[in-house]
Structure 1
Amino acid sequence: MEYIENIRIQLLEEIEPVPEADWNIKTDATDWSVAQVVEHLRLFEAFVGRSMKSALETEPTTRAEEKPIQMMKYRRRPAEAPQELQPEDMEFGKQSLLEELKETRDYIRHLEEKHTSEELAARSISHPNFGPMPLHQWLEMIGLHEERHIAQIQDIKAKL
């Protein structure tokens, strides 16, 4: 959890200075705004939280092998988010979205604190590219995913 908490601090340091007036600006018709990137991160973390809760309510099955997920933080390999994790094409209030982002992290933290590392390692969630991944890797994936999108936010801010 320390890793994802440190990445969250970096994310907040990157987005908090963005003025409300720039929060929803799309620098290109096909790009996301800073707000949409943050909403995507919230949707992803909420998905991980729901999926972890569901997995933790079941009996452990065959352990999933750890996957080489470090590459997720690099943007050289384009990736398209699944439809359910794509933000709507709308404006988002900055403070309300930051509060919702905090709530998803609080829930992830609650799940991690409530369960042992053995329980997290013994259960898995399937990833569209990697297949079944142990829950503790999904926690790391949250941080890698945010790192990837911090770079995207920096690119957006440079164009504003």
Structure 2
Amino acid sequence: MSNVKDHLDATRTQLLQEIDTLDDTAFNRKPDVQSWSVAQICHHLVLVEEATRKAIAWGLKAQENSTPARKNVQLILDRTKKIQAPSIVEPTEQPFTVQAMQDLLATTRKNLLAFLQTIEDPEVLAKRAVQHPALGELPLDQWIEMVYLHEQRHIEQLQEIVRE
């Protein structure tokens, strides 16, 4: 689990560095009508992290141990494959300040890590699965991995927006 925490920390540090230099106007600017702003990307990441925590909690409560098939979660990094965000994790159109978003990101990460600390037997995460919107039946430990991989995907996206 410590290796996963290292990946979560490194990716979040990179995300915070990317948005730290933006003013609130640039943070909320959409490249075009169809695209998300950097603020919306960050809000989406907050919503996904919260949904992930809930999915893992549900999976731990609801299911018997099994041997769910491992998925190639690295596929999420392929940005040529467009993935429609489920409505539950679609960001709001409301603007955010950079500081408010940094606070939200800190809160959801603190909540996720605190929750993961409560899992008495982390081995059980590989033995239970919950339906993932993009990948189907996904082992719970891979849901955690998806948090930082998904964040890496969107860091690339927001870097492109900032460069435009």
**Which bracket does the TM-score occupy, shorter chain normalised?**
over 0.9
Identity %: 33
Counterparts of 1:1-160 in structure 2, within 5 Å, are 1-115=5-119, 116-159=121-164
Q: Distance in 2 between matches of 1:31 and 1:101?
A: 21
Provide the secondary structure at the position in 2 that maps to 1:9. Answer: helix
Runs of 4+ in structure 1 deviating by more than 4 angstroms, as ranges, are: none
Q: Distance in 2 between matches of 1:78 and 1:54?
A: 27
Unaligned runs of at least 5 residues, structure 2: none
Shift of 1:60: 2.6
Shift of 1:59: 4.4
Q: Distance in 1 between matches of 2:33 and 2:62?
A: 43
The letter for the 1-side match of 2:158 is: I
Q: Sort the Cα spacing of 1:129 and 1:59 in 2 relative to 1 into closer, same or farther, 3 A.
A: closer
More moved, 50-59 vs 103-112: 50-59
Aligned residues: 159
Unaligned runs of at least 5 residues, structure 1: none
More moved, 149-158 vs 69-78: 69-78
Shift of 1:82: 0.9
Give the structure-1-normalised TM-score. Answer: 0.92
Provide the secondary structure at the position in 1 that maps to 2:17. Answer: helix
State the superposition RMSD in angstroms: 1.4
Structure 1 contact 49–104 (Cα < 8 Å) conserved = no
Shift of 1:126: 0.8
